[in-house]
Structure 1
Amino acid sequence: MMTHGDDLLISGAWLLGIGSLTAAIGQTQQTLTGTELGKDLVLKGNGIEALGNSLQAIGRTKMLDSENESSETYFIFGAWLEAAGNTTNAVGVNMQLNGSEVEGEKTDALGSGIQGLGAAFGAFGAFLTEDSLSRSLEIKGNSLIAAGSFFESIGNIFILNEKRQLGEQILLLGSWAQVFGAFILIDAFYLEVENEHPSEGKSEPSNQYSYPKHYL
C-alpha cells in the first residue's frame, strides 16, 4: 500500500513530465517560427515543473529514514534546487514577455543552471542507492534533465551574445532532453514504490469454502 510520501513523489513526477512537455512544445513553436509564439507555454511549463519538483521534495522528506538518509538528502536538496531553478526560469520568461528581453534571458540562463545542478544532485543521490532497475532509470532520467537544463542555459548565453539562431536550436535540444528525462523518472518512481512496498506474498489461493470429507 502506497504511503502519502509515495503519492507525492509520483504526483510530482507526473507534473514534471507534463510541465517539461508543455515547455518543450512552447520552445518548439518559438524556435520554428523565430518569434515569441510559444513563450507563454514555456512560462506555464516551468511553473508546472516547479510545482512537481516541490512535491517530489516533500514526498522524499516524508519517506526519509535512517537507512536511506544519505542518498535521500541529495534527492531532497536536488529537488528543491530544481524547483528554485524552474521558478527562476518562469520569472525570466515573464520578464521577456513584458519587454525586459536581456534581463529576462540572463535570469532564464541562471534558472536553467540552477535546475541542472539540482538534477545532477538527484543523479548522484540515485548513484548512492542500492543497485536496481529503478536506480538505473533515476540516474538516466536525472542526467538527461541535468544535461537538458545546462543546454538551455548555454542556449540563452548564445542568444545574449547575439547568436539567436544557434541559441534557439540549443534551447530546443535542451527542452526535449528534459522531456525524455522526466518520463524516464516516472517509470523509475513507479518501480521504486513497488520495490519499497512489494505486494504481500502471493501464496496459492486457498479454497473459499471447506468441504467435509466423506468416507465410504
Structure 2
Amino acid sequence: MDFQGEDLVIAGKWILGVGSLIDAIGQTQQSLSGSDLGKDLIAKGNGIEAFGNSLQAIGRTKLLTPKRELSTIYTILGAWLQATGNTTNAVGIDIELSGSEEEGTLVDTLGSGIQGLGAAFEAVGASLLEESDFRNLTILGGGFIALGSFLGSIGNIYVLNDKNVIGEQILLVGSWFQVLGSFLLIHAVTIEFESKPPLKNENGYYPYSYHSGYSDLLV
C-alpha cells in the first residue's frame, strides 16, 4: 500500500501524541516514587515518539512541492531532529537501566536538547506561513514541545549535580508540556488538511475520509 503524504503526517502526529503520553506517565511514576519505576515506559514512549516523528518527516517530504517552500523544509528538518532526539533519549534510558546511570543521563540530556531544537525548527517553519488557526496552533504546539524538551535537559543537569528532587520536578513538568504540545499539533494538522481542497488519486477518488462529501459540494 502506497501511503499518501497526508496520511503519514496525520498518523505520525497521533503516534507522537501516544508516545508523549506514555513517556509522561512513566516520568510521573519515576518522579513521584523517586526510583527507576517508570523508566521502561519512558524508553518505550520515546521510541514511539521517534517513529511518529519519522512518519511526519516522510509525509512532509512527499508533500514537498517543486517550489520547495522554506517553511516545509524547516518542518521536515525539525521532524528528523525530533526523531533523532527521541531515539537518543530511548538509548540513554536503556543505558541507565543497564546500570550506567550517569552515562545514560548524559545521553538522555543530549537527546532532549536535540528534540527541543527540532520542535523549535517546526515552530519557526510554521511562523513563515500566512496567518491561520493551523499556523498559530503549530507554533504553540511546537513551542510547548521545545520548552518541555529543554526542561528535560535542565532537569537532567540538576540530577547529574545530585539535586534529584528539583531535577525530577522539572522533568515531570517538561514531560507534560510535551503532551500538551503534541495534542495541539494533532488539532493543528487536522485543521490544515481539512481546509485544503483534496486531490483525486489515480482512480479518481478522494482518498481521505474527512473529505467525504467534498465532491458533492463541487457539483
Structure 1 and Structure 2 fold alike (TM over 0.5): yes
Q: Which runs of 5+ in 2 are unaligned?
A: 199-213
Counterparts of 1:31 and 1:164, CA distance in 2: 9
Give the SS at the match of 1:36: coil
Q: Which runs of 5+ in 1 are unaligned?
A: 206-216
Confirm whether residue 202 of structure 1 aligns to residue 213 of structure 2.
Answer: no
Confirm whether residue 101 of structure 1 aligns to residue 105 of structure 2.
Answer: no
Residue 28 (structure 1) aligns with: 28
Counterparts of 1:57 and 1:94, CA distance in 2: 25
Equivalent residue runs for 1:10-49 within 5 Å: 10-49=10-49
Aligned length: 202
Give the SS at the match of 2:129: coil
Who wins on radius of gyration, i.e. which is larger?
A: 1
Residue-by-residue CA offset, 1:69-92 (whole Å, 9 max, x unaligned): 211000000000000000000000
Residue 134 (structure 2) aligns with: 134
TM-score by length of 1: 0.91
The Cα RMSD (Å) is 1.3
Cα deviation for residue 20 of structure 1 reads 0.2
- Please list every run of at least 4 consecutive aligned residues from structure 1 whose deviation after the TM superposition is greater than 6 angstroms: none
Cα deviation for residue 196 of structure 1 reads 2.0
Residue 185 (structure 2) aligns with: 185
Residue-by-residue CA offset, 1:77-125 (whole Å, 9 max, x unaligned): 0000000000000000000000010000000000000000000000000
Confirm whether residue 7 of structure 1 aligns to residue 22 of structure 2.
Answer: no
Query: Percent of counterpart pairs with the same letter?
Result: 60
Equivalent residue runs for 1:84-163 within 5 Å: 84-163=84-163
TM-score by length of 2: 0.89
Q: Against the structure 1 CA distance between its residues 10 and 37, is the aligned structure 2 distance closer, same or farther, given a 3 Å change threshold? A: same
Cα deviation for residue 134 of structure 1 reads 0.6
Cα deviation for residue 66 of structure 1 reads 3.6
Counterparts of 1:37 and 1:115, CA distance in 2: 23
